[in-house]
Amino acid sequence: MEMRQLGNTEMWLTPVGFGAWAIGGGNWAFAWGPQDDNASIAAIRKAIDLGVNWIDTAAIYGLGHSETIVGQAVKQSSVKPFVFTKSGMVWDDKRGIRRTLLEIRREVDDSLRRLQLDVIDLYQIHWPVEDQDIEEGWTAMAELKNAGKVRHIGVSNFSVAQLERCLKIAPIASLQPPYSLLNRAVEAEVLPFCVDRGIGVINYSPQVSGLLTGAMTKERVANLPEDDFRRNAKQFQEPVLTRNLALADLLGNIGARRDVSAGVVAIAWTLANPAITAAIVGARSPQQVDGVWPAATYRLTSDEMQEIQSFMDANP
């Protein structure tokens, strides 16, 4: 399998990594609905057994619960993957969430405890909010690296201007942006900037939160649990939902020629961009891991890429 170097770090990653957002479970603002913890641990173990060598989570996922589950799964495994997590979103006793860059030093200790780790491989600022605090937040991140609590530091959802501000303080190992067939905003400026500056890119939501997996239907969208954030997400609403499901059907037809799912094709499309180091792919069960793992080696042909682009041109 091809391994890809993350920016200027010594970490070489599998093309897909395990995304741990959904395994945070329900009962918080950005939940995917209820989740069985045993299934989550089994999914992580399955990914590691297949060869996935990195896991991406965040303190806010499930209000700490995702990190706890990741920590349990990794501790049980004889093979230790890289563990990435994120800071900058905190919560209170009433489960209210706010974004801040001023509590990072406290947050890292909480994450280390939940993950049962002595050091975090990649620690990232989740959102550049509040913008005026970016310099203070990034300074804290650099100090954590110097102190040995984290090996590398990165950011998520940052603009070019915000990346430039951070670079004046300390190098950036990686950027984590959304990137998919339905969200290509970073292509114009952000990805070229990262290539030029040697910043690795691990994209999230390549399957658009399950929308391009081939398993989503209008009926399933209508029956999502009340605490599933996707009920109100723009791409899951008309008038674009019909177009998006038609795209998923096309991806499924392309994948069927080589016995892979629509989701694998969606992930492979993002990995075809040379600016992308690797893609974060969420899973909630071992079966889902099995379904997306072929994306680690599946590559689209130029004709297939053109087939997809023709659909996008005809259905903007």
Give residue limits of the domains in the chain.
4-210+272-301
Q: Where are the beta strands (DSSP E) in the chain?
A: 4-5, 12-13, 16-19, 54-56, 82-87, 89-91, 97-99, 120-125, 150-156, 174-176, 200-203, 278-282
State both tokens at 188.
């114009």
What's residue 232's pLDDT? 83
- In words, the CATH class of domain 4-210+272-301 is alpha beta
Q: Are 43 and 288 in contact (CB under 8 A)?
A: yes
List residues with catalytic annotation.
61
Least confident of 101-115, 145-159, 222-236: 222-236
Query: In degrees rounded to 5, what are phi and psi of residue 189?
Result: -125, -45
Residue partners of 227: CB distance under 8 A and separation at least 6: 26, 27, 28, 31, 33, 34
Residue partners of 230: CB distance under 8 A and separation at least 6: 32, 209, 210, 211, 221, 224, 236
163's enclosing H/E stretch is helix 160-167
pLDDT tens, position by position, 62-76: 999 999 999 999 999
User: Which residues in 118-149 are b (16+ Cβ under 10 Å) and which e?
Assistant: eebbbbbbbbbbeeebbeebbebbbebbeeeb
**Does position 1 have pLDDT exceeding 90, yes or no?**
no
Count Cα atoms within 13 angstroms, Cβ side, for 275.
Answer: 19
Dihedral of CA 47/291/243/314: which sign? positive
Query: In degrees rounded to 5, what are phi and psi of residue 4?
Result: -125, 130
- What is the share, in percent, of the chain residues with pLDDT greater than 90? 92
Mean pLDDT value across the chain: 96
Rg of the chain in Å (alpha carbons): 19
What is the number of residues in the chain? 316
State both tokens at 113.
């405890």
pLDDT tens, position by position, 134-156: 999 999 999 999 999 999 999 99
What's residue 142's pLDDT? 98
Q: What is the DSSP letter of 93?
A: T
pLDDT tens, position by position, 233-292: 999 999 999 999 999 999 999 999 999 999 999 999 999 999 999 999 999 999 999 999
What's residue 116's pLDDT? 98
**Does position 158 have pLDDT exceeding 90, yes or no?**
yes
Q: Measuring CA to CA, which residue among 179, 125, 122 is closest to residue 151? A: 122
Cα(119)–Cα(108) distance, rounded to whole angstroms? 10
**Does position 27 have pLDDT exceeding 90, yes or no?**
no
68's enclosing H/E stretch is helix 65-76
What's residue 227's pLDDT? 83
State both tokens at 229.
């954030």
What's residue 130's pLDDT? 87
Q: What is the mean pLDDT of residues 222-235?
A: 88
Q: Measuring CA to CA, which residue among 218, 217, 208 is closest to residue 269? A: 208
Residue 241: Cβ within 10 Å count: 16
